[in-house]
Structure 1
């Protein structure tokens, strides 16, 4: 859910020249039990407002923090703060009322109906949570949402094997955001590594030099791509002059890195990883590295970074919000998207299209009129050259083995669990297109 939100918000912030930062404070679980669709709707509304009311050159920060944990339940806090136009004290008291806006000029200048936050408030109440706002006119606003979520079995089972694998590694984290540094350090320590952090490129160079002189060099360096004064590429270039090829350097970034990848590789960057960091993604990356014959220079580009060039997707989804989010994700990677709201409409569109018009179909399973399984069976029976070969990928909240088997039996090529994980989505599309 977090990756999906960031995939939507980062490009909008970059287009508006707003500094957007997404951070996790402390250690959180990677999987919770709750209504991800509604929670995403709440957070996307608040984040969109923060971008809307923050001028170019401003800053928006999105932070996630686990507040407490008892047995199989936990409270999670999401905070969105901005340096936007802010609100008066008087308006804050009626902010969550329907159709409320501070003055008519707000609607004229920024648009909107004044319904979004009223809906958010109602949804948070239905989830048994709390939503608060603190704002200073002309300075900015801070919204916080606290919700109680369940924990899965996986949430409270630590992988001791990871700690055995990585316990002898020494790691340096470089990021101008202290919260990001602390979060990364906690993950490294949780994996059994020794971890230190610094907040700038020059400090990193001094720290690495000190480690070499003391006979305790760093094995892994994680460096943020966008830092003031000395960015991640410049820092990597300076570090390579000290360590040669002996230290693994991984660039952390929340933004698309394809445009700087060639320059970064020349500077000595080995791998890229997305922010905010998640324990499982770091483990996967480290395992990929340790399983590689050539750690220092293997040109591995994760499937999550796939870029497409106008391939056309038929997206079949009856939920408006899911359709909007999925369409935005796909279009940001260069895919052209056409949609259908049920299986029958998908069948009609595929039948009427020229051969090879669609490169793949993303098919929801549970839909009115005709479900995804029946639609897939009918497509496979079409007397059309590409009917049996077009990739059809299931999208469903049911991810049990029997559901996967039903999808395959109907003629589907792959199965994606909802809420859709962007990394998995693009990896599957890259595989089949």
Structure 2
């Protein structure tokens, strides 16, 4: 009795003193100093004129835990079932919407076949609807693979710089169309050649960034910051912080944000679309890769996702075998972090660096260097700067130094629209932001640096009008036609055969090197 709590002791005394009780009384209790759960039972016994009372204490810890687990599992199953029912109801609408658009736009285009402008408009809308439908299907298939443990990761060498640039090139046009600013910052990344699953890394980052853009209103900003921590000579942890100042999420939804089929409200689902699977897939992929994903958000103020992923370091990573000339380099950019990051990378490559935070300051440094008879050999110049932009700054630099100093534009903006003007004012090349060590190394190691600093590396286009020939084995006429047209647009001449036997015959009947590559349908 000494180990009983007061309320349990009082209950037992009352039962024992009550001579009118004829049924068994039970009560679940815990003893002092114990985390176990016991069933305290009192059995009244009548035998002739004598009354007996039997008291028992039975350890029910495991049974109660089992019952609780069953109850929790039942609740989870009911919630999952309800979520899937809601998902199927929502998906029937989501799938029918693009399908109706595809069928409707195709019907309109066929009925107005002579109206080129109308047909072109219908085809563009059909393409958008098709991509949306494909995205829905891909999400469903990925989730199905994950839930059945059939999703396998690959561990291959890949280029982080290539991955980051492909993400930027995919997201930036979408953000620009919506009026949202998007930038990628890589101030603390040294390893570029990593070992991991590039496809799934892309999928993780794009899922989160695309969500950020989708839920950020016009005039907002989405930022992706990359940094690394080397955990051993062969491994690093890559941290990606994706933040936005969009609509944010309520606190009670944060615990469910990575669950399948979950969306915060029906109104948000209807307004923004989607399957409710993107973040669930992302969460599972991150776990499969041995990483971690976390989210912080406040309604009306935006969200921040932090993703940590482990990678191997390829033996080819950060190896710059060719020695470089020591050059005096000037970095001109209105963002101090960008300048300092560029200078760190250039210093690691053996260059003597300085930076300026405006076009005017950069011009003053160049003038002073000329007066000191120690001119800069190369200038890395941001194209978009306040007050005096890159174009105006480059024109002034050319007036001061003539053709001797190389001027390389560094910018996150598309190079194509400004390429013609850049060539006219004497720009020698272009480096895309976000930049890495290899971005500068590839430029500085070019033979033109030694032979002629004024050579136009990135703007001069090598003429090669001869189309390469490829062999395409495809039994579906529609797929073959689509592939042939795409290859033609990419500058290749495609010869099409209907099956593998024909492909072997075509290959054997031509001399080696006749085909540059072969595309083979697997089924």
Alignment TM-score > 0.5, same fold = yes
Equivalent runs, 1:393-432 vs 2, <5 Å: 412-414=515-517
2 CA distance for matches of 1:357 and 1:45?
Answer: 27
Q: Is 1:378 the equivalent of 2:378?
A: no
2 CA distance for matches of 1:208 and 1:355?
Answer: 53
2 CA distance for matches of 1:13 and 1:241?
Answer: 37
Residues 1:388 and 1:129: Cα distance change in structure 2 (over 3 Å): same
Q: Is 1:82 the equivalent of 2:244?
A: yes
- Note if contact 2:333-2:339 (Cα within 8 Å) is conserved in structure 1: yes
Instruction: Give ranges in structure 1 of 5+ residues lacking alignment.
Output: 317-342, 364-371, 390-407, 417-433
Q: Is 1:234 the equivalent of 2:392?
A: yes
1 CA distance for matches of 2:460 and 2:231?
Answer: 34
TM-score after normalising by structure 2: 0.59
Instruction: Give 1:346 shift.
Output: 6.1
Instruction: Give ranges in structure 2 of 5+ residues lacking alignment.
Output: 1-162
Which structure has more relative contact order (CA 8 Å, sep 6+)? It is: 1
> Alignment partner of 1:40: what SS?
helix
Of the structure 1 ranges 193-202 and 142-151, higher mean CA displacement relative to structure 2 is found in 193-202
Q: Which has the larger radius of gyration?
A: 2
Q: What per-residue deviation string (whole Å, max 9, x for no partner) do you get for residues 241-283 of structure 1? A: 3322221100012232121112222233111122222333422
> Alignment partner of 1:24: what SS?
strand
- Note if contact 2:295-2:305 (Cα within 8 Å) is conserved in structure 1: yes
**What CA RMSD, in Å, does the superposition of the two structures yield over aligned residues?**
3.8
Equivalent of 2:454, from 296, 301, 304?
A: 296
| Aligned counterpart, 2:488 | 359
| Aligned counterpart, 2:151 | none
Instruction: Give 1:377 shift.
Output: 7.0
Q: Is 1:246 the equivalent of 2:404?
A: yes
> Alignment partner of 1:221: what SS?
strand
| Aligned counterpart, 2:279 | 117
Residues 1:71 and 1:294: Cα distance change in structure 2 (over 3 Å): closer
Aligned length: 350
TM-score after normalising by structure 1: 0.70
| Aligned counterpart, 1:131 | 293
> Alignment partner of 1:94: what SS?
coil
> Alignment partner of 1:81: what SS?
strand
| Aligned counterpart, 2:437 | 279
Residues 1:231 and 1:71: Cα distance change in structure 2 (over 3 Å): same
Q: What per-residue deviation string (whole Å, max 9, x for no partner) do you get for residues 367-397 of structure 1? A: xxxxx999677347469xxx979xxxxxxxx
| Aligned counterpart, 1:267 | 425
Residues 1:154 and 1:262: Cα distance change in structure 2 (over 3 Å): same
2 CA distance for matches of 1:95 and 1:356?
Answer: 42
Instruction: Give 1:47 shift.
Output: 1.1
| Aligned counterpart, 1:194 | 352
Residues 1:175 and 1:92: Cα distance change in structure 2 (over 3 Å): farther
1 CA distance for matches of 2:255 and 2:331?
Answer: 42
> Alignment partner of 1:91: what SS?
helix
Q: Is 1:203 the equivalent of 2:370?
A: no
Q: Is 1:161 the equivalent of 2:322?
A: yes
